[in-house]
Every structure is written in structure tokens, then in C-alpha cells.
Amino acid sequence: MNKFARIIGTGSYLPPTIVTNDDLSKTIDTTNEWITTRTGIKQRHKVTDETTCDLAEKAANHALEMAGINAKDLDLIILATTTPDKVFPATATMLQTAIGASCPAFDLQSVCAGFIFALTTAQQYIKTGAANKILVVGSETLSRIVNWKDRSTAVLFGDGAGAVVLSGSSDTGILHSKLFSDGNYLSSLQVSNNYINEVGFIKMSGNEVFKIAVNRLSSLAKETLKEANLSSDKLDWMVPHQANIRIISAVAKRIKIPMNKVIVTLENHGNTSAASIPLALDTAVRDGRIKKGDNLLFEGIGAGFSWGSVLVQF
Ligand code: COA
């Protein structure tokens, strides 16, 4: 039986339409300077007619190509998304058909922690021998649930997708992972809708989310490294959920990881929820920063709250 789930391919996709901070400042009361200094975000990508499945398909095909495997050889597809294309069927089943796979496929909803939850779930399938080749995708069209008149949220979010292909391995791969949820924070960050002709929008208490994110993610990162017996100087890269540069740098400082070992891509795409970690990962794998054998720490938090980490030897 394979002990580890190893990442053998990564892929990502951003829709071509870009909305810059200056573009937003023409429609809402904000400035490029405010957005850049408070968040680190410079632009976000937005779908015009593409769906969550379309974005997922492009990211998935890139990851399959890097992995050198055919979609027909997949044993399972897990799609993390908070913006599924329909209430049902699962967007993952549409993705299965789009890429030409025939394995079981399901959606997983854990908002911005979705990729971490999906990766940890996939790891369990591999460890138990229930599956050997798994596609894990994070794909979001958050622009559909952003209130573009609300400056406190409109500047933060974007659309995109990222994917990894996992394969069973006897020697290396996912070393450790931790998941948490606490449902006491519904009012801090949510989308309310009643499914009857009503589209809900993101509502958030930014300040509260900020403080909780820094505290929970710092303790989480420390615990993950300690339980895996890995000191922070043995970590090659932290690949965090891309929400806000001030959250990322506060966590890095608390766990003593220098910023030159942190992958930051949010300036280019903003917060893409479940897509953000695989998007950042794929960027750094393809530009050569992340190399085979590197120790990587993924961590993220989202509404609920739900939060988690995955420590990987790449
Ligand atoms: N442009 C200009 N001013 C803005 C603005 C914008 N886009 N959004 C808010 N402001 C104003 C506020 O109205 C407030 O004005 P006031 O002082 O006159 O009342 C001021 O800026 C400060 O607002 P505040 O909310 O305290 O700013 P902040 O430093 O906390 O930054 C966030 C706001 C949203 C960037 C920050 O709280 C954040 O990133 N939180 C975490 C959000 C997140 O990551 N959520 C997803 C988790 S997965």
C-alpha cells in the first residue's frame, strides 16, 4: 500500500479579462493606493462567459499534461468550489466529462480552505489504497457573488482555477495535514441566499476576519511543523491562501519564515478562494522556484470558519 500522496502535476488558469485597481476606482469610492497598501492586490481576473467548470477544465488539463497521464487513468476527481455552476449536479461531474475522465467525481465546499480540505481527503483515498491517481481542483467564479458596489469586498476577490494531480508513492509526498472548523462565526463572513431566484453576495466583517486569520493560521503552522518534526528553517516554501499580503506576512513573521520563502501571487489575481493555493503553487513550480524534494507548507482559512494545513515534500 502507498504511504504517501505525491503531487506529480500542477496547473492553473486565469480568465483573460483583467480588472485593475484603477478600473475599480472609476465605479466605487476607492483608490489604487488604498487597495495596494491594505491588501497587496493590484488586479483581479473576471469571467465574461466562462463557467467554474470551464476554468477548472483548463487548469486540470495543464496539470494532467505535466503529470503525463491521461484523464482516463484517473481514479477520482475532487473539485473544491464555493461557486458551483448549478445547485446540482456537482460541477465535478461536468468537469469529468469535459476532460474525458470516467471516474467518480464530487464537489467539496469549504470556501477558502477548500483546496486544503480536498487535498487532505484525496490523501486518505491514496493512503487506504482506495485510489491511486486523483485530480484535485480549486475553481471559482467569485465575481458572480461579489457586490460590485460594496468597496469593502469588491476590491478583494477574483476568478481563477488551480489543479494538482496526486499519485500514490512509497517514499514521499504529503507528510502531514490538519483540518479545523468552528461554525460560530457565521456573521463574520457569509453569502446569504435562499435558492429562490435570489443571488446572495459576500458580506464580511473584514477587521474581525483579519485578526482571527492571523491568530489561527500562525498557531496552525506552528503545530503542523512541530507534529511533523520539521523546524521552520527546513521549510523551503510556504504557499499560503492568497487573501491579503498583511495576513500572509504577519503569519510568516510569527512562525519565523522570511518573506523570500513565501510564494505570493495575490497582486495578480486577488483572493480566488479555493483556487488560490494551487494557483500560487503552479506559478512557482513553472517559474522554477519550487523544485522536486522541496518542503512546502500550504495553509488557509475561510468562512465558517474552516482552516487547515498540508505539509508536502514536493
Ligand atoms: N477603499 C477605500 N477605503 C476603504 C475601502 C476601500 N476599498 N474599504 C474600506 N475602506 C475604509 C473603511 O470604510 C474605513 O473607513 P473609516 O476609517 O472612515 O471608517 C477604513 O477604510 C478602514 O477600514 P478597515 O475595515 O478598518 O480596514 P482594514 O485595514 O481592516 O482593511 C480589509 C480592510 C478588508 C482589507 C482587511 O480587514 C482584510 O483584508 N480582512 C480580511 C479579509 C479576508 O481576507 N477575507 C477572506 C478570508 S478567506
For the stretch 71-80, pLDDT in tens is 999 999 999 9
What's the pLDDT band for 198 if we cut at 50, 70, 90?
A: low
Amino acid letter for position 266: L
- Domain of 271 in residue numbering reads as 174-313
152 Cβ closer than 6 Å to some ligand 1 atom? yes
The active-site residue out of 45, 62, 176, 241 is 241
Instruction: Pinpoint the alpha helices (H) of the chain.
Output: 21-25, 32-39, 52-67, 91-99, 114-128, 151-154, 206-227, 245-254, 266-269, 276-286
CA–centroid distance, residue 151 to ligand 1 (Å): 8
- Return the residue matching grid coordinates 461536468: 94
The tens digit of pLDDT for each residue in 56-101 reads: 999 999 999 999 999 999 999 999 999 999 999 999 999 999 999 9
203 Cβ closer than 6 Å to some ligand 1 atom? no
Number of domains in the chain: 2
Q: Percent helix, strand, coil in the chain (nearest 5)?
A: 40, 25, 35
Pair (30, 104) in one structural domain: yes
Q: Are 262 and 237 in contact (CB under 8 A)?
A: yes
- The span from the CA of 9 to the CA of 286, in Å, is 10
CATH number at residue 33: 3.40.47.10
Active site residue 241: yes
Q: Which of residues 169, 196, 211 is at a domain's end?
A: 169
The active-site residue out of 21, 53, 112, 269 is 112
Amino acid letter for position 191: V
Pair (94, 241) in one structural domain: no
Pair (165, 274) in one structural domain: no
Pair (110, 153) in one structural domain: yes
302 Cβ closer than 6 Å to some ligand 1 atom? yes
Pair (233, 149) in one structural domain: no
The tens digit of pLDDT for each residue in 248-296 reads: 999 999 999 999 999 999 999 999 999 999 999 999 999 999 999 999 9
Pair (16, 159) in one structural domain: yes
Pair (179, 164) in one structural domain: no
- The span from the CA of 194 to the CA of 121, in Å, is 29
Question: What is the pLDDT, as a whole number, of residue 192?
Answer: 78
Rounded to the nearest integer, the mean pLDDT of the chain is 96
Active site residue 21: no
- The span from the CA of 181 to the CA of 201, in Å, is 22
Amino acid letter for position 246: R
Question: What is the pLDDT, as a whole number, of residue 240?
Answer: 98
Pair (135, 251) in one structural domain: no
212 Cβ closer than 6 Å to some ligand 1 atom? no
Q: Which of residues 148, 169, 190 is at a domain's end?
A: 169
CA–centroid distance, residue 169 to ligand 1 (Å): 44
The C-alpha cell at 241 is 491562501
Paired sense of beta strands 174-181 and 306-313, if any: antiparallel
What's the pLDDT band for 3 if we cut at 50, 70, 90?
A: confident
Q: Which atom belonging to ligand 1 lies closest to the Cα atom of 30?
A: 1
- Cα 247 to Cα 29, 254, 298: the distances in Å are 24, 11, 14
DSSP 195: S
Pair (188, 308) in one structural domain: yes
Pair (50, 132) in one structural domain: yes
Task: Give every CB contact of residue 89 below 8 A, 6+ residues apart in sequence.
Answer: none
The tens digit of pLDDT for each residue in 26-38 reads: 999 999 999 999 9
Whether the predicted pLDDT of 196 surpasses 70: no
Q: Which of residues 169, 188, 222 is at a domain's end?
A: 169
Pair (145, 188) in one structural domain: no
Pair (73, 185) in one structural domain: no
- The span from the CA of 125 to the CA of 73, in Å, is 15
HEC readout, 63-90:
HHHHHCCCHHHCCEEEEECCCCCCCCCC
What's the pLDDT band for 298 if we cut at 50, 70, 90?
A: very high
CA–centroid distance, residue 52 to ligand 1 (Å): 27
Active site residue 271: yes
